[in-house]
């Protein structure tokens, strides 16, 4: 993740992603997108469907992915306590 140093103080970009609180509609819509890949065999559309699923689950995370995918991956890694290379 990029950092900026101003007057010897290190600043790290901060993304305010709310805790994922799943409501049934958001989860159901995301699952529909993913299951449709199997049902229709639309593997050539996988990237688009996965993007739609991310947008359904967390629009805020989708915005971060759009702006800085590495930061989004690092954020999820920290959230899941997994090492990020």
What is the dihedral angle through the alpha carbons of 38, 44, 50, 53, rounded to the nearest 10 degrees?
-60
Burial bucket for residue 71 (CB in 10 Å: 0-12, 13-18, 19+): middle
What is the predicted pLDDT for the residue at 9?
80
- Average pLDDT of the residues in 14-22: 63
C-alpha distances out from residue 54 to 6, 7, 33, 85, Å:
34, 38, 10, 22
16 confidence band (pLDDT: 50, 70, 90): low
For residue 30, how many other CB atoms are within 10 A of its CB? 20
Nearest to 75 by CA among 27, 50, 64, 45: 64
Q: What is the pLDDT of residue 84?
A: 46
The model's confidence at residue 51, banded by pLDDT at 50, 70 and 90, is very high
């Amino acid at each position: 993740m990029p950092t900026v140093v101003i007057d010897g103080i290190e600043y790290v970009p901060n993304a305010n992603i709310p805790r994922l609180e799943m409501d049934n509609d958001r989860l159901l819509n995301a699952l529909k997108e993913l299951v449709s890949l199997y049902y229709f065999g639309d593997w050539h559309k996988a990237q688009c469907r996965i993007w739609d699923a991310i947008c359904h689950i967390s629009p805020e995370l989708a915005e971060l992915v759009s702006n800085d995918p590495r930061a989004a991956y690092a954020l999820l890694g920290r959230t899941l306590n997994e090492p990020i290379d």
